[in-house]
């Protein structure tokens, strides 16, 4: 209660100071007389009256609406934030400062003079890290010409912004190299094998129009898709290690990149995230899968406590997958042993994001390669300097 009274008292201090200054200048002119004293008083009068108007201005009655253009934003991109303001009265504010309240990633204060206007708008760039962000309040600050009076008001203008991870456009040649790795490597058609149709099922988004069973669709009065006798499992799983790491953001970038590369090649891609909470996204081929993967990666949190080797051993959702790409920042003997056990049954691709390897890591990597695992170490700097590719793709 005392804090509120003190804050309210400070709000009136500029007005009291203006009244005192006006009284002093008027008294000086009355008692001193002469051109100079009255010149000082009348020169001060318009600025003083303007400061009084700002001090009495009902800024809290303004209406503020904040909008962000609806499109996909990636980490490191500049996000344009537009604020529309409707003032209660059209008074000549010398400047109106607009700022993102309580935010450290941009939204710096912008001071613009808008004389005698009620409907105002301004836009500033906001830089946000990967994740789901809730923008809460916008702060307005009105001031007079000399800054004698600063009047501040906060307005609740909620807006949710999802910032997706960056990704690299992966070379198609490297993608095809994944399919040629491993003792389990075989002539694996990673596009659907079109054999003789054995039946029909309901159409799901992502099915090609060439798969539509028109006779069955006519009978059922709904779109039906052909089912084939031979449909080998060509699913791939991208595994993201969510353990605490100084390069976790680079791991997320790499996971997004390899997922996009597989999707571009027509491969059904799923995702296993071993973060604070283990989550699994089933492999899908349809166009919405890329958006689902991006959203999952945008919201993942670092801090997984369970070793990745245990996660791989326990996870049963993807045991029939044709291959998996594992993205981690640490190669251990336990993880190497688990990957060697998995290698005879599926394609295994291991990417380790780390600045350098010791002798043990090199030995484990060599054993994995002899077991048919594709192993590659990537310097974090290579993922820090890349820009997100593919535009809004």
Q: What is the mean pLDDT of each run of 10 residues along the chain (393 residues)?
A: 51 68 73 75 77 82 90 87 86 77 60 70 86 89 78 89 89 74 45 54 70 77 68 80 90 92 89 84 84 92 82 77 90 91 87 89 92 90 61 40
**42 belongs to a structural domain:** yes
Which residues, 6 or more positions from 213, have their beta carbon under 8 angstroms from its beta carbon? Answer: 197, 200, 224, 225, 226
286 and 360 assigned to the same domain:
yes
255 and 180 assigned to the same domain:
yes
Res 391: pLDDT: 42
H runs (alpha helix) in 33-60:
34-56
- In the chain, the number of structural domains is 4
**389 belongs to a structural domain:** no
For residues 295 and 311, the answer to whether their CB atoms sit within 8 Å is no
Whole-angstrom distance, CA of residue 148 vs CA of residue 234: 71
For residues 223 and 203, the answer to whether their CB atoms sit within 8 Å is yes
The domain of 39 spans 9-54
For residues 57 and 89, the answer to whether their CB atoms sit within 8 Å is yes
Res 191: pLDDT: 42
Please tell me the pTM assigned to this model: 0.73
64 and 148 assigned to the same domain:
yes
Res 237: pLDDT: 92
242 and 371 assigned to the same domain:
yes
Res 335: pLDDT: 92
Closest of 112, 109, 165 to residue 389, by C-alpha = 165
Burial of 55 (0-12, 13-18, 19+ CB in 10 A): buried
Whole-angstrom distance, CA of residue 147 vs CA of residue 28: 24
Whole-angstrom distance, CA of residue 250 vs CA of residue 259: 14
Res 307: pLDDT: 86
Closest of 100, 98, 154 to residue 127, by C-alpha = 100
Res 75: pLDDT: 87
**Encoded tokens for 60:** 């809290």
**Encoded tokens for 304:** 């997984």
321 and 174 assigned to the same domain:
yes
- We report the CATH number of the domain holding residue 120 as 2.60.40.10
154 and 265 assigned to the same domain:
no
**190 belongs to a structural domain:** no
181 and 66 assigned to the same domain:
no
Res 388: pLDDT: 47
151 and 299 assigned to the same domain:
no
146 and 273 assigned to the same domain:
no
101 and 17 assigned to the same domain:
no
110 and 77 assigned to the same domain:
yes
**1 belongs to a structural domain:** no
Q: Could you count the other beta carbons within 10 Å of the beta carbon of residue 217?
A: 16
Whole-angstrom distance, CA of residue 290 vs CA of residue 272: 14
**377 belongs to a structural domain:** yes
């Amino acid at each position: 209660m005392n804090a509120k009274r003190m804050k309210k008292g400070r709000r009136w201090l500029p007005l009291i100071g203006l009244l005192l200054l006006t009284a002093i200048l008027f008294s000086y002119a009355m008692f001193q007389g002469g051109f100079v004293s009255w010149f000082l008083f009348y020169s001060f009068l318009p600025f003083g009256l303007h400061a009084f108007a700002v001090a009495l201005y009902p800024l809290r009655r303004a209406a503020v609406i904040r909008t962000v253009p609806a499109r996909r934003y990636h980490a490191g991109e500049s996000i344009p934030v537009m604020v529309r303001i409707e003032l209660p009265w059209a008074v000549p504010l010398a400047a109106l400062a607009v700022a993102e309240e309580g935010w450290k990633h941009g939204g710096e204060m912008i001071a613009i003079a808008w004389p005698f206007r009620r409907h105002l708008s301004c836009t500033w760039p906001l830089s946000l890290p990967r994740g789901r962000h809730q923008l809460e309040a916008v702060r307005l600050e009105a001031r007079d010409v000399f800054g004698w009076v600063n009047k501040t008001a906060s307005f609740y203008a909620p807006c949710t912004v999802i910032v997706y991870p960056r990704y690299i456009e992966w070379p198609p040649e490297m993608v095809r190299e994944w399919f040629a790795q491993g003792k389990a490597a075989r002539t694996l058609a990673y596009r659907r094998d079109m054999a003789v149709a054995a039946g029909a099922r309901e159409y799901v988004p992502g099915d090609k129009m060439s798969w539509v069973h028109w006779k069955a669709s006519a009978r059922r009065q709904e779109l039906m898709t052909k089912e084939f006798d031979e449909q080998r499992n060509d699913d791939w799983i991208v595994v993201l290690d969510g353990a605490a790491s100084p390069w976790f953001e680079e791991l997320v970038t790499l996971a997004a990149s390899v997922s996009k590369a597989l999707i571009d090649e027509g491969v059904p891609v799923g995702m296993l995230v071993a973060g604070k909470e283990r989550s699994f996204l089933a492999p899908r081929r349809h166009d919405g899968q890329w958006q689902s993967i991006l959203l999952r990666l945008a919201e993942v949190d670092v801090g997984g406590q369970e070793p990745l080797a245990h996660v791989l051993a326990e996870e049963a959702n993807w045991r029939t997958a044709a291959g998996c790409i594992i993205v981690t920042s640490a190669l251990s003997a336990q993880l190497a042993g688990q990957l060697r056990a998995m290698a005879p049954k599926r394609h295994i691709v291991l990417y380790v994001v780390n600045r350098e390897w010791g002798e043990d890591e090199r030995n484990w990597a060599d054993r994995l390669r002899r077991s048919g695992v594709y192993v590659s170490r990537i310097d974090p700097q290579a993922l820090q300097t890349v820009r997100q590719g593919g535009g809004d793709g």
